[in-house]
Amino acid sequence: MTEPLTCIGIVWDLLKTPYSYFRTSHVTARRASGIDQSPVIPYSEPVSISTEQTFQTDTIDINALEAILVRMTESVAFKDARA
């Protein structure tokens, strides 16, 4: 296991290292910093259709799970038919 002070030294060394050392392109470095001048595309065709269900508690009730799965499947099929 690495000692805490050694980890601090590694982080400090990385902070002192110039960007050019990591061979990151100018565009990639700007995007990593949240800078992106490309135009925003307001709409694109969906690449997938999904649905989800979050349970308040874990369950092994097969009948309830089956009913939820059928409802979710129908929901996805309906979304697909509209697309």
pLDDT number for residue 47: 75
For the whole prediction, is pTM greater than 0.85?
Answer: no
Distances (CA, A) of 8 to 11, 13, 15, 26: 5, 9, 11, 28
Contact 49, 80 (CB under 8 A): yes
pLDDT mean over 1-20? 66
Element spanning 4, H or E: helix 4-16
Whether residue 20 has pLDDT greater than 90 = no
What digits encode the pLDDT tens for the residues 52-67?
Answer: 888 899 989 999 999 9
Torsion on CA atoms 71, 73, 49, 75, rounded to nearest 10? -40
Q: Which residue type does 24 have?
A: T
